[in-house]
Structure 1
Amino acid sequence: MGENPRREPAVAGMFYPQEAAEIKSEARILNEAAEKYLQVRPDLPPDDPQVSGQVKAIVAPHAGWVFSGMLAAAAWRRAALGRKATKRILLLGPTHRIAIRGVALPGCDQFGTPAGMLAVPTQKVLEQTQELPLKVTIDPLTHREEHALEVQVPLIIENFGEDVQLIPLNVGEAAPKAVAEIIDALADEQTLIAVSSDLSHYHPCNQAERIDEATIAQIQNLELPLTSEQACGVRPLNGLLELCRQREIYPRLIGNYNSGDTPYAGSDRVVGYAAFEVRSGS
């Protein structure tokens, strides 16, 4: 058993709805909007893993659902349709509130939202990573109020059900190669890798578009490292991209926009969002 039986929701009612029924309803609506969005993306390959290769990893944004929820849902939908079987999801995100060195689990048995909890195989993760130079630790404090992982959980449940296990890792100060080693140690055919990250923050819309366009090109071409000015989840993202570089597989853009493109924000200080997938044989 983990140090804490449950990691309680911290941002329900702020980044996504408060009540279970509303969370589930909104997650379904986001999925339906994502499916329509994906249908008009002509550059994406078929979602059949037998045709296009299996989705190994995704990158999904983590702002409030009214801003980036549809794009996050598109990433999770592509993953759900583009995999043969998924029993675990390795979800890595940044530390917005409590900075740490290294990579940390919350030390719980369950992690979720008012609409559902996912089991966390804490002891198994510690065993799988104990021989690495950078060991995974347990740090409940850095997870307690963090939103980057929590906002993804209802979308995971909507697309994969409640039987899938979740490995929630907060990534603080850590070298890309060290993070890549952790991802590699935990990844297998039945484990989906997911990084939670937004792109640039608080630039005028035109400037943000230029910055994000350059960042997207870097990601697609595996030009490392990205900086914290380009993506708030830069540390887990650089780790994933380092692993992609080692395996010579390239991310593909699912889609992108910024908060200024939504009805809920102005265009003077926007946040950029992008979703990517990494497929076997990419």
Structure 2
Amino acid sequence: MNPINPVRPSPIAGSWYSSNADQLREEIEGYLSSATNPELNGQLVGLIAPHAGYFYSGKTAGYAYQTIIGSTFDLCVVVSPLHAYLPYALLTTAHKVYATPLGQVEVEQELLTELNLRMEDANLPTAQPLANDKEHSLEIQLPFLQAALVKPFRVLPLMVRSSDPGYLSKTASILADLIRGKKVLLIASTDLSHFNDEATAIALDQVMLKRMT
């Protein structure tokens, strides 16, 4: 059995976004500089950002990440789907580091271990480690974070397959308890909808926003 490489090399650099560090940074900085947002009241704790290739989603993602330019966070919790089928409710990476053309991002191992211990105590399915995954929706958030934040950060990667509200609510409560008091940014990676017409998409967006607030 081959040992797991501690560094997860990017399977999507060169296709979903540029594999050239200078080109990638220039592209992301262009998205960030072209985005304008109203002044936010209060402390920003989370973002929603899309996860298509940057050609399609970069401009929209720029509006999300423009709000954190120059910020610092000790930890970024990135929650994404897992598009491949695996019979688990929740997954995480088996690697210790994510690599992108802009550098490496360390995985928060201690908090991940504690999350699984508390989920186990609550009789909830834990986050299963996944090696050599091809999942784009989580990784594609990392270069934007690397470009927007001024200091290195660690990532807690969570890939969700369960759609059970009870399980997700309990998991979220455990996670919230673990990160309370820490300087943490939560990123929800979602395209929301691909195929709806504009009016339907806007109506569904309002339903989502109402539930969030």
Give the alignment's TM-score, normalised by structure 1. Answer: 0.66
**C-alpha contact (below 8 Å) 1:9/1:113 kept by paired residues:** yes
In the other structure, the counterpart of 1:13 is: 14
Q: 1:187 aligns with which of 166, 179, 200?
A: 179
Q: 1:208 aligns with which of 193, 197, 200?
A: 197
Q: C-alpha distance in 2, partners of 1:56/1:30? A: 21
Root-mean-square deviation over aligned CA pairs:
2.2
In the other structure, the counterpart of 2:23 is: 22
Q: CA deviation at 1:174?
A: 4.3
The count of residues paired between Structure 1 and Structure 2 equals 203
Q: 2:155 aligns with which of 127, 152, 166?
A: 166
Unaligned runs of 5+ in 2: none
Higher mean C-alpha displacement, 155-164 vs 55-64: 155-164
Matched, 1:177 2:170: no
Q: CA deviation at 1:100?
A: 4.0
Letter of the 1:199 partner, please give it: L
Higher mean C-alpha displacement, 208-217 vs 88-97: 208-217
Q: C-alpha distance in 1, partners of 2:157/2:55? A: 23
Identical residues among aligned pairs (%) = 23
Q: 1:77 aligns with which of 66, 80, 103?
A: 66
**C-alpha contact (below 8 Å) 2:50/2:191 kept by paired residues:** yes
Q: CA deviation at 1:103?
A: 1.1
**C-alpha contact (below 8 Å) 1:117/1:162 kept by paired residues:** no
Within a 5 Å distance, the mapping from 1:1-282 to structure 2 comes to 3-34=4-35, 37-38=36-37, 44=38, 46-47=39-40, 52-80=41-69, 85-132=72-119, 133-140=124-131, 144-161=133-150, 163-184=152-173, 185=175, 186-188=178-180, 189-201=182-194, 203=195, 207-222=196-211, 241=212, 250=213
Unaligned runs of 5+ in 1: 39-43, 223-240, 242-249, 251-282
The Cα offsets for residues 217-246 of structure 1, whole Å up to 9 and x where unpaired, read as 111111xxxxxxxxxxxxxxxxxx5xxxxx
Q: CA deviation at 1:121?
A: 1.4
The Cα offsets for residues 16-52 of structure 1, whole Å up to 9 and x where unpaired, read as 1111121111111111112xx32xxxxx4x23xxxx1
Q: CA deviation at 1:53?
A: 1.1
Higher relative contact order (CA 8 A, sep 6+): 2
1:180/1:56 Cα in 2 relative to 1: closer, same or farther (>3 Å)?
Answer: farther
SS of residue paired to 2:105: strand
